[in-house]
Structure 1
Amino acid sequence: MSQTDTTPPLRDRVANGAFLTLMGLARILPYNRRVTVMGWFFAHVLGPLAGWRARIRDNLAKARPDLTPAQVAHLTRAVPNNAGRSLAEIYSGEEFTGRIHDADPLCGPGLPALEQAFAAHRPVILAVAHFGNYDAMRAALTGRGWPVGALYRPMNNEAFNRHYIPAMQAIAEPMFPRGRSGLAAMLRFLKGGGWLSLGYDQFDDHGALLRFFGLPTRTVLTPAELAIRYEALILPIAGIRQPDGLSFRVEVGAPIPHGEPAQMMQALNDHLEAQVRDHMDQWFWVHRRWKQRGNTD
């Protein structure tokens, strides 16, 4: 029996049903209102219930002990707000992607390098983080007809996957699930001149011990290793939410020179840190980025 033929556990089905009800109600609203309401719900309902506020405080105490209590309290609401807005955007389909395509928000010092890579059919590694809205970047690239793929880890809740993955695929394809078959397809795509977005900002138990906000943390080396192996351009890219809460600037960072993988990934960590310091509410401070090796999340 295939995974999609199995019946998810009752707990997963209940959680998925609650989410679909919430999203169904949100879709009744006009786009701008829908995104705003989902941000509010995550900030004031889901965030406290899920324990996100405590995790955000813990991470900020490590990385930004200089913040005032008022600043920390603001971020415990603003970070989930951005997450809720992002989810509403993902589930808005063409309403979201159409806005991105029309705006063509790509900018930054690395944009000419992307244009040259496309003209030369050169593989590209797009280093992405849980910052702003990751899917704004994918929509902006596909809006120009550029070949962007993504590696993803299916959610533990199979009932949720059945609509979440198609929602992401509607923004850009191809998408490659983690695992042997997905990895093989991903490497063929990259070798053929495709552009692959890879995350690097979560703790990786087998990663190199690098630094982020001056603190030691395990960082995956795969983006740099693949760039070297396939002679791919590698650069950071992020969809930065603008002050109106609805539009984006998709900033393409300068290419990272090939060298030692650990040095390349440290450069990406440093670039992300600078972006996060400028937009503290847009990085997902809920992740346990500085946990001890071997601890469970």
Structure 2
Amino acid sequence: MATPDRRSLPWTLRARDAVLSATVWVIARLMRLQSPQFASWVGGFWARKIGPYTSIQRVAMKNLARAFPEKSEAERAVIARGMWDNLGRMAGEFVHLDRIWQYNMWEPAKSRIETTGVTNFIAMRTDGKPALVFTAHLANWELPAIAAAAQGLDSAVLFRAPDNSFFADLLFEARSKVMGNLVAASHVAVFELAAVLDQGKHLGILVDQARRGGPTVEFFGQPCSSNPTIARLARLYECPVHGVRVIRLPKGRFRIQCTPALNLPRDADGKIDVDGSMQMITSVVEGWVREHPDQWTWFYKRWRD
């Protein structure tokens, strides 16, 4: 996605962005001096204090009411507070992306990361085929791409760059050091994604946001739009589709889980059905969110009135 020309914006917006960028730069440098665990705790502490008083909180509470009408307002507020804690922790962890990976299969007690579905990871690395991997904005969602690179999985990641050029550069610099190929979302990204699969690589895509004009799916019992990119690529390349999620654990630890390849629905011609596949994938994500609702980002406009 192209970044708008900053010179065309009003000076007030440019000044605001400059102050915000400078503030983030200073905070990032200070957090970098701390351990990943302490930076994570600090981020969670301040996010819990500030987040509930922002306009984003109202969106999150509205979405929580749609997803969990059976819960009380107080119960939904607890989930929202957990969401802020998770987002703050992720912000603290972001400056340590090159340090956060600490995995020892043989001595799990000494690892920051634990895994389940290891055989599915191994199969992807050794089968010689391209694969599509979907994940969601749960826990620290940067970790699946870091895990793929750390374990020697030839991979690429589709990401959406922020409009603010400072943040876009910051994100790209941090991610490029620890991840595979980075493909920025744009109107021509589909050609880059096709090239990734043509080369037999593995492509990771976040699938839990709405896309205007995309297939309609049920999410928490209510209709919403979905981004069909992953299903269209699966239909075109007939490659396996796996789900990978991250679960935040106590004491700064994480669990990464990989599903077996999904048995996606097919149409009368035997080809992968895009709409049906997006519903299956969305249902998997819903199950993940229901299991750990406090670790999902509830302020996305997944449902549109």
TM-score by length of structure 1 reads: 0.89
Equivalent residue of 1:76, what SS? helix
| Cα distance change, pair 144–165 in 1 and its aligned pair in 2 (3 A) | same
Are 2:191 and 1:184 equivalent residues in the alignment? yes
Which string of whole-angstrom CA distances, capped at 9 and with x for unpartnered residues, describes residues 142-169 of structure 1?
Answer: 2211112111111011121121211122
Match of 1:117 in 2: 124
How far apart, CA to CA, are the structure 1 residues paired with 2:6 and 2:76? 43
Decide whether the 8 Å contact of 2:113 with 2:254 is kept in 1: no
SS of residue matched to 2:142: helix
Find the counterpart in structure 2 of residue 197 from structure 1: 204
How far apart, in 1, do the equivalents of 2:6 and 2:212 lie?
A: 31
Aligned equivalent of 1:257: 263
> In the aligned structure 1, how far is the partner of 2:254 from the partner of 2:171?
22
Aligned residue for 2:157, secondary structure, equals: strand
Which deviates the most, 203-212 or 93-102? 93-102
- 1:279 pairs, out of 282, 292, 302, with 292
| 1:97, distance to aligned residue in structure 2 (A) | 2.4
Query: Any unmatched runs of 5+ in structure 2?
Result: 106-110, 267-272
Q: Identify the residue that residue 108 of structure 2 maps to in structure 1.
A: none
What's 2:39 paired with?
Answer: 34
Long gaps (5+) in structure 1: 293-297
Partner Cα separation in structure 2 for residue 62 and residue 89 of structure 1: 30
Q: Provide Cα deviations, 1:30-60, integer angstroms capped at 9, x if missing partner.
A: 3211110011112212x24542221111001
Q: What amino acid is aligned across from residue 81 of structure 1 in structure 2?
A: D
Identity of aligned residues (%): 23
SS in 1 for 2:100: helix
Q: CA deviation at 1:176?
A: 0.6
The alpha-carbon deviation at position 103 of structure 1 amounts to 5.1
SS at match of 1:190: helix
1:227 to 212, 228, 234: 234
Structure 2 residue aligned with 1:140: 147
- Report the aligned-residue RMSD: 2.3
3-state SS of 1:250 partner:
strand
User: What whole-Å deviation, never above 9, does each CA across 1:65-118 have from its counterpart, x for those lacking one?
Assistant: 11123222212221011112112222113221245895553313xx43442232
Check whether the contact 2:45–2:85 (CA below 8 A) recurs between aligned residues.
yes
Tell me, yes or no, if the aligned pair for 2:132 and 2:234 is still in contact at 8 Å: yes
In the other structure, the counterpart of 1:55 is 59
- Counterpart of 2:174? 167
1:151-203 residue CA offsets vs partner (Å, 9 max, x unmatched): 11110111211212111222202101122554423321111111111111111
Q: Distance in 2 between matches of 1:103 and 1:65?
A: 36
Letter in 2 for 1:283: W
Question: After TM superposition, what 4+ stretches of structure 1 lie above 6 angstroms from structure 2?
Answer: 2-8
Give yes or no for contact 2:243–2:258 (8 Å, CA) kept in 1. yes
Residue from 85, 90, 103 that aligns with 2:89: 85
- Partner secondary structure for residue 89 of structure 2: helix
Q: What does residue 208 of structure 1 align with?
A: 215
Contact 1:104 1:140 (8 Å CA) reproduced: no
**Structure (1/2) with the larger helix percentage:** 1
CA distance in 2, matches of 1:261, 1:5: 36
State the distance in 2 between where 1:57 and 1:6 align. 33
Matched, 1:67 2:80: no
Equivalent residue pairs, number: 287
Compared CA separation, residues 236 and 281, structure 1 to 2 (3 A)? same
